[in-house]
Amino acid sequence: MVVLAMLLPTSLMAQVLHNPYNSYGGNTPGYTNGYVSANGEYSDFIEAAQKGVGEAQYNVGVCCYEGIGTHVDYEAAVEWWLKAAEKGVTPAYYNLGLCYENGYGVLSDYEEAVKWYTLAADGGNARAQLNLGYCYEMGNGVEQNYDMAASLYLKAAKLGEVEAQHNVAQCYYYGNGVDIDYAEAAKWFRKAAKRGVADSQFGLAMCYEYGLGVKQDYKKAVKWYREAAEQGSAYAQNNLALCYEKGKGVVQDDGEATKWYAMAAQGVVEAQYNLGVCYATGQGVVKNYEEAVKWYRKAANQGFVEAQYILGVCYANGQGVTQDHATAVEWFRKAAEQDDDSAQYNLGVCYYNGLGVDKDEQMGIQLMSRAARKGNQSAQDTLRSLGLTW
């Protein structure tokens, strides 16, 4: 009988190797650049607004939007901001763009939002430049144009808009609208990271871990992963756990690694798999195959190929579940279809031996040969023992 290669993993391997692409747009009205005084409210402005004073009309709109001295009324806010915009009160332009983009007080209309954002952006409103850039990036209300998006983000970033600083970093990191430039990416990630943007803290940590645009420095990577992780970034929590597991930039500590994997596992598939490995190997926790299977299954159901393969191994070996070769075959097949060579080999063995599937030696050899051509040592050894090449 050809033997299945069914060892559980002895080390963790799933790191978030990309900087999750999360561009930001502004989602709050720009009244901080407007005319409302610290003590101003609806009753202070309504008389002048009704007489056609643009600044008062703008302020009444803010009061209606925020419920300052009156009830919250988005429709009334839009009406007053439209009046103010007709008088050339430029802060109203951005607020109208926001309302049309998000459907506050009006039906959502991206083209109308772009019109108002453009007017505000041309007047130097950084928040409008940010949101207009996002419209160009996503193709909302305008033809998608990464070059224009990057240009607008950069304008807003230079004016100090922190979300735009993050977006500029992303553009340079991925080459969206600009040439890839990791040094520029790291520069802008740093600006936003210092102002508390968790995704930028994560991005800067990635730059330090892999020496992208900065000198490689594991300790600085850990510092920024921790900053982001403590803000709840699941990606950073996973990678911080890996730093503890491998002793990169910190003293190696399986307990700390498992703690951070457990936090990250609430939202990151790699962490779910890694936490499963911790329970399967007793790394930082008491060994518990049932708990390992639980986390493998969560990751496998999301298409994570390593988890699909290992879940197949668990069913084949009866570790954490009742032994079931047919279910093992299902999971091996899912992973094999994602080109996992270990899964291809084990699925081939199942076909060759008739484990959980009708026996089909030719199909088994085909699958093992596919794995062997990818360098899978078990497949090569097995085929060699059968006197076959690949």
Q: Which amino acid is at 204?
A: L
Q: Residue 43 has what pLDDT?
A: 85
**Boundaries of every domain in the chain:** 20-180
Q: Residue 294 has what pLDDT?
A: 98
Q: Residue 23 has what pLDDT?
A: 56
Residues in the chain: 390
- The CA distance from 215 to 206, in Å, is 12
- The CA distance from 57 to 49, in Å, is 4
Backbone angles phi, psi at 29, to 5 degrees: -65, 150
Architecture of domain 20-180: Alpha Horseshoe (1.25)
DSSP for 98-149 reads: HHHHHTSSS---HHHHHHHHHHHHHTT-HHHHHHHHHHHHHTSSS---HHHH
Sign of CA dihedral 80, 84, 85, 89: negative
Q: Which amino acid is at 148?
A: M
Whether this prediction's pTM lies above 0.75 is answered by yes
Backbone angles phi, psi at 308, to 5 degrees: -60, -45
Q: Residue 34 has what pLDDT?
A: 43
- The CA distance from 169 to 231, in Å, is 20
Query: Of the candidates 199, 223, 202, which has an alpha carbon nearest to the alpha carbon of residue 212?
Result: 202
Burial grade of 132 (CB within 10 A; 0-12, 13-18, 19 or more): buried
- The CA distance from 274 to 296, in Å, is 8
Residues 312 and 332: beta-carbon distance below 8 Å? yes
Separation of CA 150 from chain center: 20
Splitting the chain (390 residues) into consecutive groups of 10 residues, what average pLDDT does each group show? 49 46 57 46 89 93 92 96 95 94 96 97 95 95 97 97 96 96 98 97 96 98 98 95 95 96 94 95 95 97 96 96 97 97 96 96 96 95 92
- The CA distance from 236 to 255, in Å, is 17
Q: Residue 25 has what pLDDT?
A: 60
Query: Of the candidates 29, 60, 28, 30, which has an alpha carbon nearest to the alpha carbon of residue 42?
Result: 60
Residues 267 and 261: beta-carbon distance below 8 Å? no
- The CA distance from 296 to 388, in Å, is 34
Residues 99 and 28: beta-carbon distance below 8 Å? no
- The CA distance from 243 to 257, in Å, is 8
Residues 129 and 151: beta-carbon distance below 8 Å? no
Six-digit token string for 211: 């020496």
Residues 152 and 190: beta-carbon distance below 8 Å? no
Residues 244 and 264: beta-carbon distance below 8 Å? no
